Amino acid sequence: MNKLLSGDLRGLELPRDLSILRRDAEEAVATGQPLDALYEALAGEHPIALGELVYGPKALRGDMAVLASLKVLETLENNLQPKALYPRLVSLGQNTATTVLDAAIARHPNASWVTTLSKKLNIVPGLQQLTDQVDSAGFAESCIEHAHRGHTEALLSLAAQGHPEPSSALLLAGDSKSSIEAASLALRARPDADVIAWLSAAGGPHIDSFLCQLLPHLQSRKAVETLHQKSGPFPKTHALLRAILPAVR
């Protein structure tokens, strides 16, 4: 392997040898050789030259180059504002837009420009991260983090698959309206979803009146029956469910 590509920068004098550096990096992209070692070495010794390769006017294009740049984001962000860096990276890859956006969300979860970039790419912020966490022990905690980041659309999407955790997370984040919507979506997809347990965990023992707001959204007898069986600690909710149960088909 070319010594530059292996991260060996001995003998390289910049900016004099920038054309040589660019030539070798372009050849690496063309032949499918990794750029990771080169980028990491440049990040430590020549961050300006790294910027020329990653986001400059003649930046390297292609998925491999973009993915390598994501490993040196700390250095890149020190030399170019993130709100300019990430859209530039998106423009340079063919299949890496979602990966770049995920990195932006992870590093700048509350930045308005991340939301703007998400809308431009027609990607729901947080959805991929939450989907990846569904079967993990940290899913509920991840839902809470994304609720506080305002990723309501992603949480509602997961709720519509029958997951009750988003309703709890949204309630903890102070979005009671979306919490009710998430709970109703979860019950529509999976009538036995234990939304009462999750909502009571978030809202505490004085959640009876809040649970009553969910009842007009119930669409199946199975959901009403399940909630009725589990609503004993909440007398107002329990009584209303008992009252509507005979009328639900």
Q: What is the mean pLDDT of residues 229-239?
A: 94
Asked, for residue 215, whether it belongs to a domain, the answer is: yes
Residue 46 reports pLDDT greater than 90: yes
Residues 243 and 142 in one domain: yes
Residues 198 and 116 in one domain: no
Asked, for residue 73, whether it belongs to a domain, the answer is: yes
Residues 69 and 82 in one domain: yes
Q: How many CB atoms lie within 10 A of CB 136?
A: 10
210-219 pLDDT, tens digit per residue, is 999 999 999 8
Categorize the per-residue pLDDT at 117 as very low, low, confident or very high, splitting at 50, 70 and 90: very high
Contacts of 198 (CB under 8 A, 6+ apart): 164, 165, 167, 168
Q: Give the model's pLDDT for residue 50.
A: 96
Categorize the per-residue pLDDT at 26 as very low, low, confident or very high, splitting at 50, 70 and 90: very high
Residues 196 and 228 in one domain: yes
The number of distinct structural domains making up the chain is: 2
Backbone φ and ψ for 17, nearest 5 degrees, come out as -95, 20
Residue 249 reports pLDDT greater than 80: no
Q: How many CB atoms lie within 10 A of CB 133?
A: 19
C-alpha 249/C-alpha 245 separation (Å) is 8
Domain boundary (78, 101, 123) is at 123
Categorize the per-residue pLDDT at 110 as very low, low, confident or very high, splitting at 50, 70 and 90: confident
Q: DSSP secondary-structure letter at 70?
A: G
Q: Give the model's pLDDT for residue 106.
A: 85
76-95 pLDDT, tens digit per residue, is 999 999 999 999 999 999 89
C-alpha 32/C-alpha 207 separation (Å) is 58
129-163 pLDDT, tens digit per residue, is 899 999 999 999 999 999 998 889 999 999 999 99
Residue 1 reports pLDDT greater than 70: no
Q: What's the pTM value of the predicted model, to 2 decimals? A: 0.68
Categorize the per-residue pLDDT at 38 as very low, low, confident or very high, splitting at 50, 70 and 90: very high
Mean pLDDT of the chain, nearest integer: 93
Asked, for residue 28, whether it belongs to a domain, the answer is: yes
Q: Give the CA-trace dihedral at 99, 100, 101, 102, to 10 degrees.
A: 50
169-201 pLDDT, tens digit per residue, is 999 999 999 999 999 999 999 999 999 999 999
Residue 204 reports pLDDT greater than 70: yes
Max mean pLDDT range (5-19, 59-73, 235-249):
59-73
Host domain of residue 225: 128-247
